[in-house]
Amino acid sequence: MSYDEKTMAGARIEYRERVRRFEDRERLRTADLLARSPRLREVERDLTGLSLRLARAALSGSADEVGRIRTRAEELHAKAGEILEEMGEEKDALRPRTYCPVCEGTGETGRGPCACLLKVYQEMLLLRYARYLGEQSFENFDFELYSDIVSPYYHAEPRGIAEFVFDQCAEYARRFRPDGGGGLFLHGGFGVGKSFLAASVAREVIRNGYFAHYISAVSFFALAEKERFGRLAEEEAADWEDAFSADLLILDDLGAEPASAQSAPLLYRLLGERAALRRGTVLVSTLTKEEISSRYSPAVESRISGTLTDLLLIGEDLRKAGDNT
């Protein structure tokens, strides 16, 4: 699994701040409890003394003394529990609590970032792509916007096709793994819901803890031109690298970028490198495969056909009827 370094760095800062606020609240909560009961303060002083004795006993290697101290500590905790219940509080209210019992508020485990840190990372990743994702999600997809009248050209109902494409996208997002490879080629006319479903895939993949990177084709090829001449700014360089290495890439509006002799070999390289790394890719375009072959190259079309599931959406421009765009 890959992580966006800039987003993860920001997540660590935010995580530390959340841990600090939690610990501040815990200190205030404990101080309030102790201020309300002299008997509880006495028990707390005894527990603090035992903590120091336990540390010394552990350093000296005296197992018997460690056992006796722990037994006494449990007796004191039981006494504190009785006092707290008399005060109308939970009996464990005085026991030390950490932000996360798994990593004890460090954000790390022996196997990498803890789930509590990843939750913050996911929140920040969703925030980073908020402009693209908007409120778009599988839960908000509206099939009623599609006609149930059979298209004379495709001999199928736009709504029936939308239901099929929706199921394919939802299943891909649900089963997504960072080394699973493959992906989706979402294409069709303007405003038929392609970008909506691509954004829904991205949102679900991020929710599941993976790194989904969105970039429009216009932005990607503009970055390529800068990279070619070594003019990428730091943030642009990160976006460029993410396009090749992210767990999932959403390349939106392929074909909208200005025509260039560099586009075909670059797109072929992008798809090839991601396939070699077994990274998932979702392409969104108004172009048919025949048009892709003509605009870019037969090799690009072949690579798309060989690695991505072809999903065609049909119908009227939904921007005139609703929000599946």
Task: Return the half-sphere exposure (C-beta side, CA atoms, 13 A cut-off) of residue 207.
Answer: 13
CA angle (275, 277, 282) in 5-degree steps: 45
Residue 124 forms part of a structural domain: no
Which pLDDT score is estimated for 59?
Answer: 82
Model pTM?
0.76
What span, in angstroms and rounded, lies between the C-alpha atoms of 236 and 274? 19
Same domain, 136 and 207: yes
Max CA distance (Å), the chain = 86
What angle in degrees, to the nearest 10, is found between the helix axes of 5-35 and 38-60?
Answer: 130
What span, in angstroms and rounded, lies between the C-alpha atoms of 255 and 34? 67
Which pLDDT score is estimated for 325?
Answer: 59
DSSP conformational letter for 140: G
Same domain, 60 and 32: yes
Q: Using the 3D structure, point to which of 67, 82, 112 is the last residue of a domain.
A: 112
DSSP conformational letter for 193: S
Which pLDDT score is estimated for 322?
Answer: 54
Domain that holds residue 237: 131-320
What sign does the dihedral 122-140-323-170 (CA atoms) show?
positive
Which pLDDT score is estimated for 321?
Answer: 56
Residue 155 forms part of a structural domain: yes
What span, in angstroms and rounded, lies between the C-alpha atoms of 220 and 194? 19
Same domain, 286 and 207: yes
What span, in angstroms and rounded, lies between the C-alpha atoms of 111 and 66? 30
Which pLDDT score is estimated for 151?
Answer: 86
Which pLDDT score is estimated for 21?
Answer: 94
What span, in angstroms and rounded, lies between the C-alpha atoms of 219 and 5? 20
Q: Using the 3D structure, point to which of 85, 112, 139 is the last residue of a domain.
A: 112
What span, in angstroms and rounded, lies between the C-alpha atoms of 95 and 101? 13
Centroid of chain to Cα 151: 38
Which pLDDT score is estimated for 309?
Answer: 97
Q: What is the pLDDT along the chain (325 residues), one digit of tens a residue?
A: 778 888 999 999 999 999 999 999 999 999 999 999 999 999 888 888 888 888 888 888 778 888 888 888 888 889 999 999 999 998 888 888 899 999 999 999 988 899 999 999 999 999 988 888 888 999 999 999 999 998 888 889 999 999 999 999 999 999 999 899 999 999 999 999 999 999 999 999 999 989 999 999 999 999 999 998 889 898 899 899 999 999 999 999 999 999 888 999 999 999 999 999 999 999 999 999 999 999 999 999 999 999 999 999 998 877 665 556 5
Which pLDDT score is estimated for 319?
Answer: 67
* Total residue count of the chain as it appears in this document: 325
Residue 52 forms part of a structural domain: yes
Same domain, 205 and 172: yes
Number of compact structural domains in the chain: 2
Residue 325 forms part of a structural domain: no
Q: What is the CATH number of the domain that holds 191?
A: 3.40.50.300
Same domain, 139 and 271: yes
β-pairing, 108-109 vs 112-113, is antiparallel
Which pLDDT score is estimated for 50?
Answer: 85
